[in-house]
Amino acid sequence: MSEKGTNTQDPCPCGSGLTYPACCGPFIAGTELPQTAQQLMRSRYTAYTRGDAAYLSATWHPTTRRQDLGADPRVRWLGLKIIATEAGGADDHRGLVEFVARYKIGGRAHRLHERSRFKRFQGRWFYVDAELTADP
């Protein structure tokens, strides 16, 4: 039995509609680098669904990286919806991705609505920080 999102036929947890190996898999495996801030955002979400603290740390900008990135085993990630992107393209140096991530803890549903900032540093995209957005 394979882990969710790792079978070649499974859809990627990030919701792109692609399979895991055609989407976030190569980024998380370290065989490719995300070319856009949105690709990095999606791969970080997928890393959260997998509890991959090493990938989360490696893609967090060194100036803002937290030490404790342990995934909460109680969280069950349900889906990601990209709301908007600003810059963050292959030729940009900064980018912003607004998204909503749905999850459950102890059977109770929650939403994380965030505007994440990304920065290209030494030729790679990194997550810098985020502003939480209150849902109405």
Alpha carbons 6 and 24: distance in angstroms, whole number = 10
User: What's the pLDDT score for residue 73?
Assistant: 84
Domains of the chain: 20-132 (3.10.450.50)
User: pLDDT digit string (tens) for 14-42?
Assistant: 999 999 999 999 999 999 999 999 999 99
Q: Is the pLDDT of residue 5 over 50?
A: no
Sign of CA dihedral 127, 91, 25, 12: positive
Q: Please list, residue by residue across 109-133, b when 16 or more beta carbons sit within 10 angstroms of its beta carbon and e when fewer do.
A: eeebbbbbbbbbeeeebbbbebeee
User: pLDDT digit string (tens) for 36-88?
Assistant: 999 999 999 999 999 999 999 999 999 999 877 667 888 999 999 999 999 99
Alpha carbons 2 and 36: distance in angstroms, whole number = 28
User: What's the pLDDT score for residue 60?
Assistant: 95
Alpha carbons 12 and 73: distance in angstroms, whole number = 20
User: pLDDT digit string (tens) for 81-130?
Assistant: 999 999 999 999 999 999 999 999 999 999 999 999 999 988 999 999 99
